[in-house]
Amino acid sequence: MNSNNNNLIDDILKAIDIMATKKIASTGYDRTIQATVVNCEDPTIGKYKVKYQDGYWYAYSTSGDISYSNGTSVYILIPCGDMKKEKTILGAVQKLGTNYINLLE
């Protein structure tokens, strides 16, 4: 296979990826991601700053009785897959004693 064929295959795969990503984004289904707690912005309302890939967002705890330490990996619910909507922390990825809640079980 020559380099022109390799470039053509790469271009086709990139086009498929773009189409699939757009289709998934338009479905409107909730999405769950794994993010890292950066810090607690407001403990009275359970507002946390979280990092996902190279971006930072705010997410809210589902319970005022639970707090997450900086660096904790958490599951975040993205309503309708729209990152502009309010995000919810579903629970810690690992069981962390009193900091653990698992709504997924």
Average pLDDT over residues 20-38: 85
Q: Label each residue of the chain as H, E or C.
A: CCHHHHHHHHHHHHHHHHHHHHHHHCCCCCEEEEEEEEEEEECCCCEEEEEECCEEEEEEECCCCCCCCCCCEEEEEEHHHCCCCCEEEEEECCCCHHHCCCCCC
- pLDDT score, position 105: 46
Residue 83 is encoded by which pair of tokens? Answer: 């990152």
The CATH number covering residue 91 comes to 2.40.50
Residue position matching structure tokens 């403990």: 43
Residue 24 resides in a domain: no
- pLDDT score, position 29: 83
76-91 tens-digit pLDDT: 999 988 888 999 999 9
Residue 58 resides in a domain: yes
pLDDT surpassing 70 at residue 97: no
Residue 68 resides in a domain: yes
Distance CA 57, CA 42 (A): 14
- pLDDT score, position 1: 57
Domain range for 94 is 31-99
Ramachandran class of 77: left when φ > 0, alpha when ψ lies in -120 to 50, beta otherwise: beta
Residue 105 resides in a domain: no
Residue 74 resides in a domain: yes
37-96 tens-digit pLDDT: 999 999 999 999 999 999 999 999 988 788 899 999 999 999 988 888 999 999 999 865
- pLDDT score, position 24: 73
Residue position matching structure tokens 């990092």: 51
Residue 11 is encoded by which pair of tokens? Answer: 């271009």
Residue 15 resides in a domain: no
Total number of domains constituting the chain: 1
Residue 17 resides in a domain: no
- pLDDT score, position 98: 52
Indicate the pTM of the whole model.
Answer: 0.65
Residue 16 resides in a domain: no
